[in-house]
Structure 1
Amino acid sequence: MALPNTAASAGANVKSAVRTVELLEYFAGSPGLHTLAEVQEAVGYPKSSLYMLLRTLVELGWVETDATGTRYGIGVRALLVGTSYIDGDEVVAATASVLDQLAQETTETIHLARLDGTDVVYLATRASQHYLRPFTRVGRRLPAHATALGKALLATYDDAQIEELLPPDLQPTTEHTHTSRAALLEDLRAIRERGYAVDREENTLGLCCFAVAIPYRTPARDAVSCSVPVARLTESHERTVREALIAAGDQLARVTRRLA
């Protein structure tokens, strides 16, 4: 009797696991519902195996379909896992009171974010007290080079490491985004000198953001920011925001020191 080819079986299982993760990441980055043809074009898997994988994920609750069963999107199970990540994260818990205080002092929107590859991902947010304010959500992913949060984190790396971290092309999100490596590196050097990062409409037109890295790790993994609509950003208010953010950065360094 022939013995099972365990190596081949293990390889197939790994391939299936990789495809499952890639598929869920596709849905996470492409909100809404998509036809089988659209999904197949995006991920490039054989249509028959893709269909079987989708049906399995639908049965398990990781993928949902519309009433016709022909369009697919991310399922509620993904939300449960994402929520458990936030609920169990020690940095989110340790920084909560400081974020509350910073939001109270500045009256503006506050974000805690983590560097993930070439992007930053929002872990926590505190809404502005003003009617005119940015609308953001936990889990949002933005390119690091185009945000104050991302630049504050990139500035904790040396130039050689930054070159490895950056994507091949720096894509603009607005007309103010750095698309030149030289310009970005110059900006990061200035951030290291003054101790905070600034994004003046580089990610969102009409919005200015300030950020500091939380140095419980080196290079830093997390950062906190304050976002202010340009229409409300007077010279006096900008000074208040900067001072409050730098002070909060010192507090955050203390409360997260044990997490290193």
Structure 2
Amino acid sequence: MGRLVPAVTRALDILELFLEGDGTLSAPEITRRLQLPRTTVHELVTTLAARNYLVAVPDQPGRYRLGVRPYQLGSRYAEQLDLAAEGRQVARGVAETCDETVHVAILEGTDVIYIAKVDSTHAVRMVSAAGRRLPAHCTSVGKMLLASLPETELKQLFPDGRTLTAMTDNSITSPTALRRQLAAIRESGIAVEHRESNPDVSCVAAPVRDSAGTVVAALSISVPMIRWSEERHAELSELAAKGAAELSDRLGYRGRP
């Protein structure tokens, strides 16, 4: 690995400061927060402004905000992102930590489609495949994604009086019961599915957000009932949330749900 260039490191440190607070800073504030010489900060800010990485804030003399160039770079990065590829990388790390099957899925209508999957190494594990489609209301990933939809859209997808498809005896078949469970998922931030798509498996899932904060996918961990317990439930819920947060970070999400 080559030597880090101090001037470039300091310039990047300055730019990253603008990710915090209201997104505006003055040169004295930058000097104080980074503990750099005043002349160094002045030269770096002047250079960044000349290259459109920073711009002066109108009607606020001496204050700067991010310019158009970081936006252009971020847009190009976003264009190159592949949710499935990023999902596989994150799922692999989660699976290595817990040695259970990990999925990343997206919502299409009333179904979920698994776009990434990493298997457990255990002989007894969930059998599935990337590309598989399942009823969303029967899965933890699906319920997590449905919980992100507005109530009006949910009523269109699952009108009252309709009987929902059951995959097991534990599947939710009532739209009213489903909406009640989705409300609880919004509160907790974690979706749980107990033997609703497979009679021998339970799952936990957490939301994946894009740079705009929109839920675009969900990451789940699936566990055979022989390895399921309340303690394991809590442990895997935390791990699923961390994995989903990492994938969200890769997609450019910088806020908090």
TM-score category (smaller protein): 0.5 to 0.7
Deviations 1:61-94 (A, max 9, x none): xxxxxxxxxxxxxxxxxxxxxxxxxxx9710122
Following superposition, the deviation at residue 233 of structure 1 comes to 0.7
Q: Which residue of 2 aligns with 1:149?
A: 141
Once residues 244 and 97 of structure 1 are traced to their aligned partners in structure 2, the CA distance between those partners, rounded to angstroms, is 15
Provide the secondary structure at the position in 2 that maps to 1:130.
coil
Following superposition, the deviation at residue 100 of structure 1 comes to 1.1
Give the aligned CA root-mean-square deviation in angstroms: 2.0
Q: Which residue of 2 aligns with 1:205?
A: 199
Q: In the alignment, is the contact (CA less than 8 A) between 1:113 and 1:122 conserved in 2?
A: yes
Once residues 204 and 89 of structure 1 are traced to their aligned partners in structure 2, the CA distance between those partners, rounded to angstroms, is 32
Q: Which residue of 2 aligns with 1:184?
A: 178
Residue 118 in 1 paired to residue 110 in 2? yes
Following superposition, the deviation at residue 221 of structure 1 comes to 2.8
Once residues 224 and 177 of structure 1 are traced to their aligned partners in structure 2, the CA distance between those partners, rounded to angstroms, is 20
Moved over 6 A (4+): none
Q: Which residue of 2 aligns with 1:136?
A: 128
CA pair 138-89 structure 1, distance change in 2 beyond 3 A? farther
Following superposition, the deviation at residue 206 of structure 1 comes to 1.2
Once residues 154 and 139 of structure 2 are traced to their aligned partners in structure 1, the CA distance between those partners, rounded to angstroms, is 15
Deviations 1:35-60 (A, max 9, x none): xxxxxxxxxxxxxxxxxxxxxxxxxx
Once residues 90 and 216 of structure 2 are traced to their aligned partners in structure 1, the CA distance between those partners, rounded to angstroms, is 18
The match for 2:250 among 250, 255, 260 is: 255
- Structure 2 unaligned blocks of 5 or more: 1-79
Q: Which residue of 1 aligns with 2:188?
A: 194
Q: Which residue of 2 aligns with 1:14?
A: none
Q: Which residue of 2 aligns with 1:6?
A: none
Q: How does 1:90-105 map to 2 (within 5 A)?
A: 90-105=82-97
What code does the residue aligned with 2:186 have? R
Once residues 96 and 231 of structure 1 are traced to their aligned partners in structure 2, the CA distance between those partners, rounded to angstroms, is 26
Provide the secondary structure at the position in 2 that maps to 1:153.
helix
Residue 226 in 1 paired to residue 225 in 2? no
Following superposition, the deviation at residue 218 of structure 1 comes to 5.8
Identify the structure with the greater helix proportion.
1
Deviations 1:188-234 (A, max 9, x none): 01101111100101111011011112111665231111000111112
Provide the secondary structure at the position in 2 that maps to 1:257.
coil
What code does the residue aligned with 2:128 have? T
TM-score in terms of structure 1 length: 0.62
Following superposition, the deviation at residue 182 of structure 1 comes to 1.2
Larger Rg: 2
Deviations 1:80-114 (A, max 9, x none): xxxxxxxx971012233221110011110001111
Q: Which residue of 1 aligns with 2:235?
A: 240
CA pair 89-176 structure 1, distance change in 2 beyond 3 A? farther
CA pair 193-227 structure 1, distance change in 2 beyond 3 A? same
Once residues 159 and 214 of structure 1 are traced to their aligned partners in structure 2, the CA distance between those partners, rounded to angstroms, is 20
Provide the secondary structure at the position in 2 that maps to 1:114.
strand
- Structure 1 unaligned blocks of 5 or more: 1-87
Deviations 1:146-205 (A, max 9, x none): 110100000001211111223753111111111111110110011011111001011110
Once residues 229 and 142 of structure 2 are traced to their aligned partners in structure 1, the CA distance between those partners, rounded to angstroms, is 24
TM-score in terms of structure 2 length: 0.63
What code does the residue aligned with 1:256 have? L
Q: Which residue of 2 aligns with 1:39?
A: none
Identity %: 34
Q: In the alignment, is the contact (CA less than 8 A) between 1:95 and 1:256 conserved in 2?
A: no
Provide the secondary structure at the position in 1 that maps to 2:215.
coil
